[in-house]
Amino acid sequence: MRPTLLLPVLTTAALLGSWEALSGTGILPAEVPPVSDIAAWLWANIGTAALWTAVSQTLAHWAVALAVGATIGALVGAAMASVPVVNELLLGMVEFFRPIPVVVYLPIMLLLLGARPVVVVVLAAVAALWPMLLQTLYGVRDVDPVTTDTARVFGLTTPQRLVWVTAPSMLPYFFTGLRIASTITLLVAIAMELIGAVPGLGNTLATYAGNGRYDATYGVIVIAGLLGVGLNAVFERLERRALRWHSAYRTQHT
Amino acid sequence: MLSVTNLRKTYGSGDQAVEAIRDMTLTVDKGEFVCIVGPSGAGKTTMLRCLCGLLKPSSGTVTLDGAPVTGPPKEIASVFQDYSRSLMPWFTVRRNVGLPLRNRYRSTADRAERVGTALDAVGLSGFGDRYPWQLSGGMQQRVAIARGLAYAPEILLLDEPFASVDAQTRADLEDLILRVRDDTGVTMLLVTHDIDEAVYLADRVVVMSARPSVVLETVEVDLPRPRDQVTTKRLPRFAELRTHVLTLIRRTALDGSAPTPDHHSTIGERR
């Protein structure tokens, strides 16, 4: 085991151990079940269709919302960075809408569309849009002027500069935006399922908690956490692969 | 022939206006090696950017074989000082060198051959599949030179190309450039603040004044070719020429005013 992994594992084990010990003394409320109960529930339910249906529903909300939100964010961000007029037109609106938590739109969306998956997807997509928009905006602006000059001197056309210079140059920002957007999208998707009673992990969580099934509630929390960690790991891998040339990931072999 | 007539470049406007170049007139003939030297901040880079069509002069004209330069001409290639920013880290050496050839040569085989020849010329035949950042600074600048050569330009503009490498590498690169010039006959216009380098390389040295820049003097370098780092620099004539240029530059750097210009230049306003 790598030494960097050893310490976090130790702290986690210590936390879970003292939780279990405290549960044994009976001073914890019923809403905080023993770790062993949660583990038992997970063990019994990890293969059940009900759990995986909820996971797949949430993942579907996440995937569609991220795809739509990130695409719109990246396109708008790129347009703002490269066309000054677009920037002037949209900057005020971006500054106004960006800090608003998407949950405030939920009641209206529920009234308009009902408790349906599309509500979750739309709101999660709005949440995904902002980090992607900002990162793309910074990324396109941050293209090195020397590199741009080089491309111009050697007569590269605008589409060629876009594909061979701007796109690779902004890739680190793109991946940062994508990772942040992915995390926020998952978070918002689960929250909207929970509040709006739309089928998915969030709704499953609300149902278990409402019925006093605390071992199951915590089990679903663990699943949601693992889902977040897993998705983040996937994006980190993609980033590492696409940015082999970048100074942060270079391996020197001269 | 590259011809610059009464070039003037001012940045900004009104009270904040900075006059980088007041009046530059010079011509570079086909096959010539011309070096432009000047004190730091003399608008040397501004001058080159105007020449390669990246910057629009405030007034005056730049013409190439009689045609005015309005954007980057395909007859001119550039080598920038900062190779680490001018080479693209996401492309291999081969792709960096071949990148500007896409619009010129349709066939992949033609392009590969030109890239191979250019890498040979700078002594980097075996390094096509490496990334620029896997190479030393001197090698990276050779990649940038190869990219310029592969473009098959009439004129190669070099903006302080050896300012970011160590002294030994600098001498090697200077000789590489001289050899490339002999082999290809390409016209070279090199900007530097290093007087020894300018005198060693050039047929003519154009000395720029401090900002706002004018041409102080054009010094004909009558040193024999081929030149050699040791024997050329030992010649009494080399010492004479470098002392002459150094005196001009020290004077302009110290008092900041333009002394008597030579017959090539015209100065609109004089203190």
What is the complex's ipTM, to 2 decimals? 0.85
Report whether pLDDT(B266) > 50: no
What pLDDT shows up at residue B268?
Answer: 34
Q: Is B85 on the interface with A (CB under 8 A)?
A: yes
Report cis status (omega within 30 of 0) of the bond before A168.
no
Which residues 6+ apart lie within 8 Å of B99 measured at CB?
A154, A156, A164, B88, B91, B147
Overall domain count for chain A:
1
Q: Taking an 8 Å Cβ-Cβ cutoff, which residues of chain A contact chain B?
A: 144, 146-147, 149-150, 152-157, 160, 164-165, 168-169, 171, 245-247, 250, 252-254
Nearest CA in chain B to A166: B88
Global pTM reads: 0.82
- Output phi, psi for B57, to 5 deg: -65, 150
Q: What is the pLDDT of residue A249?
A: 81
Calpha distance B39→B249 (Å, rounded): 6
Interchain pair B80, A160: CB under 8 A: no
Instruction: Write the CA distances from B122 to A172, B118, B139, integer angstroms.
Output: 32, 7, 9
Q: Are strands B155-159 and B76-79 parallel, antiparallel or unpaired?
A: parallel
Contacts of A150 in chain B (CB under 8 A): 78, 80, 86, 88
Q: Is B239 on the interface with A (CB under 8 A)?
A: no
B102 with A160: Cβ contact below 8 A: yes
Pairing of strands B76-79, B67-68: unpaired
Alpha-carbon Rg for chain B, nearest whole angstrom, is 19
Which of B130, B77, B191, B88 is closest to A144 using CA atoms?
B88
Residue A17 lies in a domain: no
Mutate: best of A146, A147, A154, A163, partner B, most B CBs <10 A: A154
ω into residue B226 within 30 of 0, thus cis? Answer: yes
- Per the document, the length of chain A is 254
For A187-212, b/e burial (b = at least 16 CB within 10 A) is bbbbbbbbbbebbbbbbbbbbbbeee
- CA angle, corner B71, sides to B66 and B74, nearest 5? 70
Contacts 24+ apart (CB under 8 A), A149-152: A149/B49, A149/B54, A149/B78, A149/B80, A149/B86, A150/B78, A150/B80, A150/B86, A150/B88, A152/B54, A152/B72
Put simply, the chain B residues between 86 and 105 with a CB less than 8 A from any chain A CB are 86, 88-91, 99-100, 102-103
Helix (H, G, I), strand (E, B) or coil at A75: helix
- Rounded CA-CA distance A24/A20 in Å is 6
Sign, CA dihedral B98-B99-B101-B102, equals positive
Per-residue pLDDT, averaged over B70-99, amounts to 93
pLDDT attached to residue A247? 82
Chain A CB contacts of B134 below 8 Å: 252-254
Q: Which residues are paired to B157 by β-bridges? A: B78, B189
In a domain, A128, yes or no: yes
CATH of the domain at A59: 1.10.3720.10
Report yes or no on A131 lying in a domain. yes
Is the pLDDT confidence value at B267 over 70?
Answer: no
Give B16's pLDDT tier (boundaries 50, 70, 90): confident
Residue B250 is predicted with a pLDDT of 86
Region B29-34 average pLDDT: 93
Q: Which pLDDT band, with edges at 50, 70 and 90, does B256 fall under? A: low
With beta carbons less than 8 A apart as the criterion, state whether B204 and B219 touch.
yes
Residue A212 lies in a domain: yes
CB-based contact A149 B80, cutoff 8 Å = yes
Of B74, B91, B135, the CB nearest to A155: B74
Residue A161 CB coordination number (10 Å): 17
Q: Is residue A27 part of a domain?
A: no
Neighboring chain A residues of B136 at a CB cutoff of 8 Å = 254
Comparing alpha-carbon positions, the chain B residue that sits nearest to A243 is B90
Under an 8 A CB cutoff, do A245 and B77 touch? no
Q: Residue A76 — φ and ψ, nearest 5°?
A: -65, -45
Determine the pLDDT at residue A5: 83
User: Domain span at residue A163?
Assistant: 37-242
pLDDT digits (tens, 9 = 90+) for A37-63: 999 999 999 989 999 999 999 999 999
Task: Specify the pLDDT at position A1.
Answer: 52
**SS3 at position A2:** coil
The reply to whether residue B52 touches residue A147, judged by beta carbons under 8 angstroms, is: no
pLDDT under 50: residue ranges of chain A: 254
> Among B55, B80, B88, which would you mutate to test the A interface (most chain A Cβ atoms within 10 Å of its Cβ)?
B88
Across the A:B interface, residue pairs with CB atoms under 8 Å apart total 67
| Cross-chain Cβ contact B85/A156 below 8 Å | no
The one-letter code for the residue type at B151 is: Y
- The pLDDT of B75-101, averaged and rounded, is 93
Q: Yes or no: say if B128 and B93 are a contact pair by the CB < 8 Å rule.
A: yes
Residue with tokens 């071992």: A215
Higher pLDDT pick, B261 / A97: A97
B100/A165 CB distance under 8 A: no
B82/A146 touch (CB, cutoff 8 Å), yes or no:
yes
DSSP character string of chain B: -EEEEEEEEEES-GGG-EEEEEEEEEEE-TT-EEEEE--TTSSHHHHHHHHTTSS--SEEEEEETTEE--S--TTEEEE-S-HHHHS-TTS-HHHHHHGGGTTT---HHHHHHHHHHHHHHTT-GGGTTS-GGGS-HHHHHHHHHHHHHHT--SEEEEESTTTTS-HHHHHHHHHHHHHHHHHH--EEEEEES-HHHHHHH-SEEEEEPSSSEEEEEEEE----SS--TTHHHHSHHHHHHHHHHHHHHHHHHHH-S-----TT---S---
Closest C-alpha among A46, A55, A67 to residue A190: A55
Write the residue in A144, A152, A154 that is nearest to B85 by C-beta: A144
Q: Is residue A28 part of a domain?
A: no
Verify whether the Cβ–Cβ distance A254 to B80 is below 8 Å.
Answer: no
- Tell me whether residue A141 is in a domain: yes
Residue A187 domain flag: yes
| pLDDT the model gives residue A26 | 83
Query: Residue B54: its chain A contacts at CB < 8 A?
Result: 149, 152-153
Task: Please list every residue in chain B whose beta carbon sits closer than 8 Å to the beta carbon of residue A155.
Answer: 72, 74, 100, 103
The structure tokens listed for A240 are 């590492």
CA proximity to A136, closest of A54, A60, A226, A76: A76
Token pair for residue A13? 């084990």
Residue of A nearest to B95 (CA): A164
Residue B115 CA to residue B154 CA, distance in Å, equals 17
- pLDDT value at residue B271: 33
Residue to substitute from B86, B130, B139, interface A, most A β-carbons within 10 A? B86
Q: What does the pLDDT look like over B107-143, one tens digit per residue?
A: 889 899 999 999 988 889 999 999 999 999 999 999 9
Q: What is the pLDDT of residue B1?
A: 87
Average pLDDT, chain B: 88
Q: In what order do the strands lie in the sheet with B155-159?
A: B67-68, B59-64, B2-11, B18-28, B213-220, B204-208, B33-37, B187-192, B155-159, B76-79
**Residue B258 in this model has a pLDDT that exceeds 70:** no
| Residue entry with tokens 């089928």 | A199
